[in-house]
Amino acid sequence: DFLSALETDIKPAFGSNEEVLDSYIGTGIIIWDESVQNVLNAGELCTKTLKSPNCDGIFTMLLEGPPNSGTTALAAHMCKNSGFPFVKICSPDEMVGFTETAKCLAIKKIFDDAYKSELSCLLIDDLEGLMEYTPVGPRFSNAVLQVLRVMLKKNPPKKRKLLTICTTSRASMLEEVGLFPVFRVVTRVNNISTGKQLVHVLLNVNDTFSQDDLGRIEKEVKGKRLWIGIKQLLAICSILGQIERHERARFFLEHLEEKGFIRDDLS
- Binding residues for ligand ATP (CB under 6 A): 25-30, 32, 36, 67-74, 126, 153, 169, 181, 230-231, 234
Nearer to Mg ion, 72 or 208 (CB): 72
Q: Does 136 bind its own copies (CB under 8 A)?
A: yes
In the DSSP assignment, the letter for residue 155 is P
Cis peptide before 67 (omega within 30 of 0): no
Least CB distance from residue 267 to ligand ATP, whole Å? 27
| Interatomic CA distance for residues 134 and 69, integer angstroms | 19
* Residue 154 binds which entry of Mg ion, its own copies, ligand ATP, none, CB below 5-8 Å type-dependent: its own copies
| Interatomic CA distance for residues 46 and 122, integer angstroms | 13
* Residue 70 binds which entry of its own copies, Mg ion, ligand ATP, none, CB below 5-8 Å type-dependent: ligand ATP
Least CB distance from residue 129 to its own copies, whole Å? 6
Nearest CA to 191 out of 231, 239, 219, 238 is that of 231
Distances from the Cα of 163 to the Cαs of 5, 76, 179, 254, in angstroms?
26, 13, 17, 44
Q: Which residues pair with 188 in a beta bridge?
A: 64
> Do strands 262-263 and 225-226 pair parallel, antiparallel, or not at all (unpaired)?
antiparallel
State which of residues 72, 82, 120, 187 lies at the interface with Mg ion (CB under 5 A).
Answer: 72
Least CB distance from residue 57 to ligand ATP, whole Å? 8
Number of residues that bind Mg ion (CB under 5 A): 1
In the DSSP assignment, the letter for residue 156 is P
Nearer to its own copies, 139 or 250 (CB): 139
Q: Does 158 bind its own copies (CB under 8 A)?
A: yes
Q: Does 48 bind its own copies (CB under 8 A)?
A: yes
Beta strands in 78-118 (DSSP E): 86-90
Least CB distance from residue 158 to Mg ion, whole Å? 18
Least CB distance from residue 222 to its own copies, whole Å? 26
Q: Is residue 180 helix, strand or coil?
A: helix
Residues whose CB is less than 8 angstroms from the CB of residue 149 and which lie 6 or more positions away in sequence, other chains included: 178, 179, 182
In the sheet with 185-188, reading across from the earlier edge strand, the strands are: 86-90, 119-124, 161-168, 57-64, 185-188
Nearer to its own copies, 108 or 224 (CB): 108
Least CB distance from residue 120 to its own copies, whole Å? 15
* Residue 29 binds which entry of Mg ion, ligand ATP, its own copies, none, CB below 5-8 Å type-dependent: ligand ATP
Spell 122-133 as b/e; 16+ CB within 10 A means b.
bbbbbbbbbbeb
Question: Which residues contribute to the site for its own copies (CB under 8 A)?
Answer: 13-14, 23, 26, 45-46, 48-49, 52, 54-55, 59, 67-68, 92-93, 96-97, 99, 101, 104-105, 108, 129, 132, 134-140, 142-143, 145-147, 149-151, 153-155, 157-158, 169, 173, 176-178, 181, 184-186, 229, 232, 235-236, 238-239, 241-242, 259
